A and B are shown apart, each in its own frame.
Chain A
């Protein structure tokens, strides 16, 4: 072996090593806890003490946020435009209701079962969205959502049909914390689930796995060329998102003690898309910011025009798209980039 060859091998090795370390640094920088993340969780906890009379709307925000964050995993990372994400939300809601009605009144069990059921549905339906263009995916997801709504409507013996499920009361959480009349326990419960869920999804989204999803979103063919198994990744991401959407549905059931076919309605899919558009896609917290803004706006509108708030939601969508949702979603980048400077090793 000549000297020159040896040298090139060494150089190649060292350059691979430096590339690896650079990549590791990049991943670390991307996944660092941002300033606004701390703020938002502190605010969420503070809201419990500051706004004791607003528990119901805060709960609603937390549930919608979890739902939206799960959709962001599909839309913002994997780049799949889904109009049928309510299928999982609704399934989770019904499963949680049925669990509480017939089997276990303990909410966490119901939550986990609902998540698993929605995940199974997500796994099966994910194979349907692998093929075809945006339009095909849109149609398939929409079709799945409508089918679920139809099933819930037709299987009245199980789901109560158009009347929905009611007459069950969730027991104390883990046998310890009783649900109170003002929804305080409910809010804390939803907040904890939202926090855990967001942290898990955050871990997934900012791992190399999440990066590969973004690569698939950018260009599926090129992602395939650098050995990213696009189909497998999409199946996994879609299933995980389905699990959390199902959990969000279960939370809604458990905090309201009621399931109606409305949980599967089309407008929910549109609402959650709007939430993501308001908050911005591709960084998970968009779901939370969007949920806060959306719920407040909707609440405000439904006070002004109880019957026609839909008009203004539609108007909001049109305006948002026309002025460019990218421009709007970029505001979060103006927030302080990092929480502490000491990790910055560049």
Chain B
């Protein structure tokens, strides 16, 4: 029971790291980016290549995954995404689905369609006993890292100058530009940062979520659930939503394996009907 809860929390934390970049693009920049999972996949494959081909330590792979995914995000944002911020939602959806398809086929071409495995360093594999509860070491590592990241994100967004610029740019783009904030740069950096986080999440999730070319499609719905249920006005909303989703998904798969995924989708639809603006939305909008 507690093990399931623990696994659920780890899973949820991972989902949060994967999805929080999407919170920014989707919620704050109002861009429906279905291709977010592709950045996560990029991070995952960077890790796989570095570890399995060149034998680089797992700990070095994580920042590398972040940097590579962020770099890809930055390039794509500057070359393609920025033209579509004002486009209708249908265009954004089509565009990002196109990107997903390209990413899937390209990955399939270069890496093959099989599931990729990574070998975790020995100190992270296996389980240990904490007060009678079986705790996977890697999951504990995930939880700690993700929690640190979540706190850091919250602090960056609320305390730093960049965070306040971002919030200003999001609240009212024109006024922010009038105040001398370079909105495109802020958006580009944020997009890159969000993509980087997704890459990091993909790298860490390669062990828990699995990694194959269909990753962006398989987890697209999860990211969207986290964002739409959590709302987009805060960091804590998606965080709680991700935790709930992680626990519900793990518990659902464990207790009622036959209808596990069904429960998640049904919950999401009900949630969207009852609270169309997210579980923790602050009214208005």
Contact = CB atoms under 8 A, between A and B. Distances in A.
A109 B221 CA distance: 36
Contacts, number: 123
Nearest to A320: B94
Interface string B81-112: 00110010111011101111111111011000
Contact of A273 (B97, B108, B224): B97
B94 A150 contact: no
A244 B268 CA distance: 27
A239 B150 CA distance: 43
B269 A143 contact: yes
Contacts of B276: 131-133, 136
B258 interface: yes
Interface stretch (B139-147, B175-183, B259-267): B259-267
Nearest to B257: A154
B263 to A, nearest CB: 10
Contacts of B97: 270, 273, 314, 317
B23 interface: no
Given A146-B265, A322-B83, A310 B105 contact: yes
Interface residues of A, number: 43
A221 to B, nearest CB: 15
Contacts of A270: 97, 101
A228 interface: no
A308 B105 contact: yes
Given A136-B276, A317-B94, A142 B101 contact: no
B140 to A, nearest CB: 31
B87 A321 contact: yes
A104 B58 CA distance: 60
Contacts of A317: 94-95, 97-98, 101
Interface string A287-310: 000000000000000000001111
B106 A150 contact: no
A219 to B, nearest CB: 14
A220 B218 CA distance: 34
B80 interface: yes
Interface string A137-156: 01110111011001100100
B111 to A, nearest CB: 13
Interface in B102-130: 102-106, 108-109
A211 interface: no
B28 interface: no
A308 B112 CA distance: 11
8 contacts: A135-B89, A135-B228, A143-B272, A274-B94, A310-B101, A314-B99, A318-B98, A322-B84
Interface of A: 75, 81, 83, 128, 131-136, 138-140, 142-144, 146-147, 150-151, 154, 266-267, 270, 273-274, 277, 307-318, 320-322, 325
